[in-house]
Structure 1
Amino acid sequence: MASWNSVSLEVTYEVLGWFAFIVWSISFYPQVILNFRRKSVVGLNFDFVLLNLTKHSSYLIYNSSLYFSSAIQKQYFQKYGYDQMIPVAKNDVAFSIHAVLLTAIALFQIAIYERGSQKLSKICIGIVSIVWLTAAVCFFVALSNHSWLWLLNVFNSIQVLMTTIKYIPQVSMNFLRKSTDGWSIGNILLDFSGGIANYGQMVVQSVDQDSWVNFYGNIGKVLLSLVSVFFDIIFIIQHYVLYPDKKSSKLVTTTEDEDQIREHLNRPSDESPSENV
């Protein structure tokens, strides 16, 4: 296994990694706190939460397996070379564990708080069911010939797919409502910062090793950063440019605001936002 050539780059790598871990981890709290204070999840798209849980669960399986399993690491080195470094850091594993827990809490809030007419779409339920069924089939295929690195790449592909589509329901919902009420912009700003830091961390490692295997050897992490940043920019534009008069000035929305949101969501002529995904 390769070692660092530059102490300064190694320190920079660790700083960027833990910065990404901190801001990404904190990014889950604004939405959870907003839900708690409002005692409502109106404005938070349920499809986004379920797809996000599937995404982070897959990412946790990938990160923890590649970081802790010597057998999988051996297969990685055989494929990419023993002079390469494992593209998963401690902060990646820590972030994944934290992300699964906080997303599960958000899903629990959906079950207990006021949600108006919002519900999970059949499309989302179908996607998640197919994804986990496919993962189960791939597990038994990998079990027969111990192709564990291939299986991890399947989970990596799942998390990339979920990252790509998970934001679409919330973007669509904001567009239909012409509002970002109930959707925390604090989550987005922190997520944006973490994505940039995560990408920078990979660049630092590649510069030190004078190799870009770090990128195509962990394409999931690359796409995770790029896709997240892309959608974060869309949310920022929606919140500050497209619907500035519709956003809440405080974390706790007023009763009048809540009534207006529910009235809009309950109109017979309107489709449920989650069904439009």
Structure 2
Amino acid sequence: MGDWHSIHLKILYEVLGWVAFVAWSISFYPQIIMNFRRKSVVGLNFDFVILNLTKHSSYLIYNVVLFFSTTVQAQYRHKFGSNQMIPVAANDVAFSTHAVLLTAFTLFQIFIYERKTQRFSKVAITIVCIVWLSAAVCVFIGIHRHSWLWLISVFNTIQVVMTVIKYVPQAFMNFRLKSTDGFSIGNILLDLLGGVTNYGQMTVQSVDQKSWVNFYGNIGKTLLSLVSIFFDILFIIQHYVLYPAKKKKDELPIQSSS
């Protein structure tokens, strides 16, 4: 890693990073808990989950390789400058690992809880198959050419594209049903906090290094924050403004007629 010019900015960087990690990590639990309490996944879009799993798996590969591989780090510095800091922190690796496990568990809940007529769409399944088939081809090319930085950049690109795509099915489902019932807003609020602090972490690093290569050198992380924030705000508007939860009749007190 490169040297920090300001110890205060370094501390702020670490704090923001771990706040993002905690917020994003906890954000998986409200949906899991809601599914468990209801013994149902009705209202949760299945395509959102399977696309999210592909996204986090790709992001995990990118973070782990860039954080631990000295060979890939050398290629990164050769491309962006020998004094540049690696744009992946320990909290990124920890978050990705946790995200894959929790998303996989949510997928498991889909198969064991009530789901009525909901199912995975053929479009989502096709997208996932194409993504991993393409990734396999890129792995073959990357190994042959020893283009390790290019190869993990492919996985980084995959996670960015999946981030954009994954929110659409849930947002459209909320619009079609005119309801967000079954979809945890706690997940979204925590995800928004994580996105904002993650973006702040990158900004702090760029200010300290007096270079914005941290943003375009890790464009995936940059777009991840911006796209996540946009859709989180959309979901918040859907939940609190457009389709506020309606009280069920059986929850209202029964008044006896005189």
Return the TM-score normalized by structure 2: 0.95
Post-superposition CA distance 1:192-216 (Å, at most 9, x none): 0000000000000000000000000
Moved more, 59-68 or 236-245: 236-245
Equivalent-residue separation in structure 1 for 2:190 and 2:156 (angstroms): 23
1:111-130 alignment to 2 at 5 Å? 111-130=111-130
Equivalent-residue separation in structure 2 for 1:77 and 1:229 (angstroms): 30
Secondary structure of the 2:160 match is: helix
1:1-277 alignment to 2 at 5 Å? 1-246=1-246
One-letter identity of the residue aligned with 2:204: V
Equivalent-residue separation in structure 2 for 1:256 and 1:97 (angstroms): 42
For residues 70 and 176 of structure 1, do their structure 2 counterparts lie closer, same or farther at Cα, with a shift above 3 Å needed? Answer: same
Equivalent-residue separation in structure 1 for 2:245 and 2:60 (angstroms): 39
1:145 deviates by 1.4
Q: Contact conserved, 2:195 with 2:228, CA < 8 A, in 1?
A: yes
Post-superposition CA distance 1:161-214 (Å, at most 9, x none): 000010000000001110000000000000000000000000000000000000
Secondary structure of the 1:238 match is: helix
Equivalent-residue separation in structure 1 for 2:204 and 2:245 (angstroms): 41
One-letter identity of the residue aligned with 2:2: A
1:7 deviates by 0.2
Equivalent-residue separation in structure 2 for 1:220 and 1:51 (angstroms): 16
Equivalent-residue separation in structure 1 for 2:245 and 2:78 (angstroms): 56
One-letter identity of the residue aligned with 2:16: L
Return the TM-score normalized by structure 1: 0.89
Equivalent-residue separation in structure 1 for 2:134 and 2:3 (angstroms): 37
One-letter identity of the residue aligned with 1:238: Q
For residues 175 and 75 of structure 1, do their structure 2 counterparts lie closer, same or farther at Cα, with a shift above 3 Å needed? Answer: same
CA RMSD of aligned residues (A): 1.3
1:255 deviates by 11
One-letter identity of the residue aligned with 2:152: L
Equivalent-residue separation in structure 2 for 1:137 and 1:177 (angstroms): 39
Q: Contact conserved, 2:188 with 2:236, CA < 8 A, in 1?
A: yes
How many residues were matched structurally? 251
One-letter identity of the residue aligned with 1:163: T
Moved over 4 A (4+): 254-257
1:245 deviates by 3.9
1:242 deviates by 0.3
User: Residue in 2 aligned with 1:269?
Assistant: none
5+ long unaligned stretches in structure 1: 258-277
